[in-house]
Structure 1
Amino acid sequence: MAARDTSSLLVVGLLLFFHTWGAWAIAEVNMEDRVDVRLDDTAQINCMFSTEDGLGGTIIQWFYVTRTGEKQRIYYLESGLSYPEKGTPFSDRISVNGTGATEGVVLTINKVQLKDELEFICYVKSLTDGTAEGRTKLRVFQTPATPTIVGVQKGISIQEESMSKIGTCEVTNGYPKPNITWYKDNTPMRSIPGEVNVLPSITIESTGLYSVKSELAMKVVKEDADAHFYCEVTYFAPGEETMMVETSPINITVYYPHTDIIMWVESPKGKIKEGDNVVIQCSGNGNNPYTTFSIKGGENLSADTSELVVENITRLDSGKYECFALDMESFEEISTNITVFVNYLEDVVIKPGKIMEVPQGDEREATCNALSSLPTQTAWFKNGEEVVKGHTLALKDATFDTAGTYVCVVTAEEVEGLERSGTMRVYIEGQPVILTPDITEMEESPEKTVDLNCYVQGYPYPTVTWSTSEGKILPATSETETDDGVISTASVKVTGDIIVFCNATNSLGEDSVTFNIKAKGSGVIIAVIIICILLLAILGSVLYFLYKKGKICGRSGKQDLSKGKAGKDNIVVEMKSDNTEEAVLLGVNGEKQLPSDQ
């Protein structure tokens, strides 16, 4: 009985084995090892399977593996019946495309979250071919924000005994965790005990994203003053891609002591002359704020600064100037010096002096020079034009045209602007000579005022007087001294023909000129006056004739008063009466005379 039971069980076991072996051989599931998706995007996981059961003979279930390693079903599909499991993190975010009748289904997960980074299982069960499953890992990615770099603002001394902070790099909100690498001049930096320290720190934000910060500290050297520091951030992207982004570079201020200093004249460029504002500077080959500079030279001193300004410098400021640099940390002092020479050009000296009096026709010489630290050139000018080069001015056969102001200019051409000048006034002694005016004969309208000019050469300056032919003295309206004489002006009113004299005198002689002014229309007036006089004479004669004939004075008949012989006492006057037509003659004594008595 026992043997029979055993054989029965063996047969059943063999049948079950062969049946199961057939299912393993036929039912297959193919899935990708991993699916990459960005945060908040949609993920699609494919499950490809093969079975002979066909429609209605296959059950498909989707599971995910929890953090603790357990399987949790999230979806069930059988013979057109499908539903997501309730109460899972995926209940309202998943769907499955496909009915199971085909050889593939797709699990779609909407709005993928970081916690969705799990392993998903597609489980296929065939009624005849057995079961099979496939697994896919879902990986989630998030591109981090643009990285930032901040360098230290204060300077770093190479004399610091410990490492000094250089700067901080930071990148935020990335997934998976980004990495930061420091570079100095394109060379990656790694921690070296006692020299370089790269200190990273990682923060997991409340969102599950990573923020990474890296701080660089190092012991600086002088060459780091010119170095450029920056950070490189690498992060992962879907498709096994590694992305990279760099920060902008930063510089640091490195303090290092001076080992040598130089000194120079900043301005003016070239040679220095008296009156310049001179700027002297010095500088060292180090970069140390704890170094004090001072410049000394003569009575000039510049304390705690590397610049000395000497205003309106003179030759007394020539000499040695020294620059001192004192390191306030080590109290070591170094110095250097330069020699400053101030060029000069003294005032012009003219001999025989500023005034020279030369008799007309004579010869004289004048010399001009100026003491200078440089070679000089001399030239004489008159009225802005050069008359001679050299120190000596020779005046030969002097004339009035020789008179004037001569300017001597002494120049040190090696230094721009180094120039001095002086003047000499030359007077030519001679008796007055009146330069004849262009017009001495003129015709002007009556009542017009005429200005007359008299230009007199001569020295001592002549005295000029104006007068008329009638002996009237005219006052000068203006008088101006020139280089070689006097210009005098007088005004005269034209009332008729007039003659005006300009007289010039000095201790050496005299001269004069005559101006004839004719009044316009004066001949016509005289002719009119003569005609009028003749007419009056003719009129008088006519009246007298008429009187003699009795045509005037009330006489009605011809009567000659000369017929009656009357003495001085018998002058008779005839009187008429309009009423009686009787004429009565009265004598001188008042006696009444009858007409018959005439």
Structure 2
Amino acid sequence: MHLLSASCVCALTLASALLCQVAALETVTGLYGETLAIPCNKGAMKAEDVFITKWKYDKGDGLSGDLLVKQKNQNVSISATDEYKGRVSLAVNSSLLLSSATLADQRTFTCMEVVGADIAEYPVNVVVYKFPTELEISEQSEELEIGKLTKLGTCAAKDANPAANITWLKNNKPLLADGNEISIQTSVLVDPVTGLSTTTATLEYSAEKEDKNAQFTCSTRDAAGTELLSTPVTFTITYSTENIVLSVIAPGPLVEGDNVTLKCEADGNPAPTSFNFHLKGDVVKVENGDTYTITNVSRDTTGEYKCSLIENPSMEASEDITVNYLDINSSPSGNIVKRAGSPVIKKLSQQLSDDGLHEVLICDVEGFPKPVVSWSINGTLLDESAFVNGKITHKIKVVPSANLTVSCTVSNEFGSDTKPINVSSLNWKVRVDKQDQSDDSDQTKLVVGVVVGVLIATAVIGLAYWVYMKKSKQGSWKTGEKENGSSEEEKKLEEKVEENSQKAEV
């Protein structure tokens, strides 16, 4: 029996009739470079029932080429030439095995089987797929400018069959061309030798500020849905500074003696690296840095601080700094008694209150936050001034019954301080005042009495002397005594009077 290569011709003889059957065309898919198995009648016939199996292929232009033939109980006979020599073999189920599949193998292969008196042909269309080996992004832009359509890069899917479909993604979300902010241009190039296709897709993109850390990739999928993804790339997004922030960096609430750091940050990209720090009237320029440290702060450090861009001073930020502190200055008013050995203050009344019934103690305090004032003695609050500029005055009135030491204590969350004052007994002062007044009165009376006594004594002596002199003169005139004797007596009398007068003055 002779088997025709292109069609089935049925010959009728007196002994038998041959039935010619042509099967519907099916398609088999193979992978590039792999061994391709092309089934014969999908393996429906049992090998022991098949008398002859033959494989051939379509060479084009109405011509066919033989590959191999196998008759029952005989070995396979290979008749392949040209590109199929050494590449074909027959499987147990009569499938044609084709190694190292290429795109040239995309044609029709036909299996012919003789089973009993029937001859059947089973043509199979072969398609060879090749997935791109990789996706590569090239021609990347160095940076993207906000709002400007810029070429981001080109994604290439090389040596594929069929030509790959490329999709661009941002953060794993597909980008769709809109002709305005996103543009994708795709092209396909076929290798004339291998027949494989290289697809390129160029993305032009108008960036946003949020794209600063965005990851861009490209992908493609094979017929089975398997995805091939490129290595992600990121881009520098350039934009001008729109916001600036000044931060105060400190270990906690600031107290005098601490250090504080000012940090200036701007959102421009590339970010500014130099700033002006405004320090309560002074301007310090910091280049290649964004911090400035104030050491050993004091209460005078409290205030508003700013930082600004050197190239654009109007772009600035501000922050307040508050330094906490605590001071005390006690200035009591009242009777202050010095330590033993010192002279006592004389004018004690001047230290009493206006009504003379109590003493006033005053504690002047400086601190921030507002300190709490307390005394070591019970007293009546007279006044507490308003807390202004970190200062406060606290007054109490007391009536001490004995000499004692009174302490004023102030405190806030950053510390405390205590200072004592000595306060004398109010009863003691009143008693001393009365005693002083009594002593002064008695002394005055004594002096007045002495003076009056002296005056009276002087008058009596003078009167006696005058009487005596008068009598003496009368006696001399009557008796005729000499005046010399009288003179001596007068002299003695005068001396006596003078002596008594001096005693009286003393």
Quickly name the TM-score band, shorter chain normalised.
0.5 to 0.7
**Identical amino acids, percent of aligned pairs:** 17
1:301 pairs with one of 284, 287, 293: 284
- Match for residue 335 of structure 1 among 315, 331, 339: 315
> How do residues 195-274 of structure 1 correspond to structure 2 at under 5 angstroms?
196-198=183-185, 214-225=201-212, 229-236=216-223, 241-246=224-229, 251-263=234-246, 265-267=248-250, 273-274=255-256
Check whether the contact 2:40–2:122 (CA below 8 A) recurs between aligned residues: no
**1 or 2 for the larger relative contact order (CA 8 Å, sep ≥6)?**
2
1:325 paired with 2:320, answer no
Equivalent residue for 1:289, pick from 271, 280, 298? 271
Q: 1:274/1:325 Cα in 2 relative to 1: closer, same or farther (>3 Å)?
A: same
Q: 1:296: Cα distance to partner?
A: 1.3
Indicate whether 1:33 and 2:59 are aligned.
Answer: no
Deviations 1:60-106 (A, max 9, x none): 542223488753211134576651115444444433468xxxxxx72
Contact 1:154 1:253 in 2 (8 A): yes
> Distance between the aligned counterparts of 2:42 and 2:261, measured in 1?
88
**What is the distance in 2 between the residues matched to 1:18 and 1:134?**
16
TM-score (norm 2): 0.55
**Does 1:370 find its partner at 2:358?**
no
| Residues 73-82 or 197-206, more deviating | 197-206
For 2:166, the aligned partner's letter is I
Say how many residue pairs are matched.
378
What amino acid maps onto 1:137 in structure 2? N
CA distance in 2, matches of 1:86, 1:115: 18
| 1:130-529 matches, cutoff 5 A | 133-142=121-130, 144-145=132-133, 155-158=143-146, 163-165=150-152, 167=153, 169=155, 175-184=161-170, 186-190=173-177, 192=179, 196-198=183-185, 214-225=201-212, 229-236=216-223, 241-246=224-229, 251-263=234-246, 265-267=248-250, 273-284=255-266, 286-289=268-271, 292-297=274-279, 298-304=281-287, 305-325=289-309, 333-336=313-316, 338=318, 340=320, 342-343=322-323, 345=325, 347-351=327-331, 357=338, 368-372=363-367, 375-379=370-374, 409-411=409-411, 413=412, 416-417=413-414, 419=415, 421-424=417-420
Change (3 A) 1:219 1:291: farther
Counterpart amino acid of residue 182 in structure 1: W
The separation in 2 between residues aligned to 1:129 and 1:80, in whole angstroms, is 18
Deviations 1:216-251 (CA, angstroms, capped at 9, x unpaired): 332323354475533231112xxxx34335557665
- How far off its partner does 1:306 sit? 4.5
Native 8 Å contact 1:380 1:393 kept in 2: no
Displacement of 1:179 in angstroms is 2.6
CA distance in 1, matches of 2:128, 2:398: 108
Distance in 1, matches of 2:376 and 2:131, equals 86
Whether the 8 Å CA contact 2:327–2:367 is kept in 1: the answer is no
Shift of 1:137: 1.9
Cα distance in 2 for residues equivalent to 1:207 and 1:408: 101
SS class of match (1:294) = strand
> Deviation at 1:130?
11
Distance in 1 between residues matched to 2:85 and 2:313, nearest whole Å: 81
- The answer on whether the counterparts of 1:200 and 1:212 sit within 8 Å (CA) in structure 2 is yes
TM-score normalized by the length of structure 1: 0.48
Q: Which amino acid is 2:417 matched to?
A: S
**RMSD over equivalenced CA pairs, Å:** 5.5
Distance, in Å, in 2 between the alignment partners of 1:24 and 1:119 is: 32
1:136-186: per-residue Cα shift (whole Å, max 9, x none)? 122234555575668969543327x66142x56555675544332112463
Indicate conservation of the 8 Å contact 1:163/1:217, yes or no.
yes
- Structure 1 residue 123 displacement after superposition: 6.5
**Is the helix fraction higher in 1 or 2?**
2
Which residue, 30, 37, 46 being the options, matches 2:40? 46
Report deviation, 1:321.
3.2
Distance 1:349 1:130, change over 3 A: closer
C-alpha deviation, 1:301, in angstroms: 1.9
Q: Distance in 1 between matches of 2:402 and 2:331?
A: 18
CA distance in structure 2 between the partners assigned to 1:300 and 1:420 by the alignment: 36
Distance of aligned partners of 1:337 and 1:29 in 2 relative to their CA distance in 1, 3 Å threshold: closer
Tell whether 2:52 aligns with 1:72: no
Structure-2 separation of matches of 1:421 and 1:69: 115
- AA partner of residue 77 (structure 2): Y
Decide whether aligned partners of structure 1 residues 409 and 116 sit closer, same or farther in structure 2, where only a CA change above 3 A counts. farther
- Name the CA distance, whole Å, in 2 between partners of 1:174 and 1:423: 93
Structure 2 residues without counterparts, runs of 5 or longer? 1-8, 342-357, 382-393, 425-506
Q: Which residue identity lines up with residue 203 of structure 2 in the other structure?
A: L
Q: Which amino acid aligns with 1:231?
A: C
- Distance across 2 between alignment mates of 1:74 and 1:18: 23
Bigger-Rg structure (1/2): 1
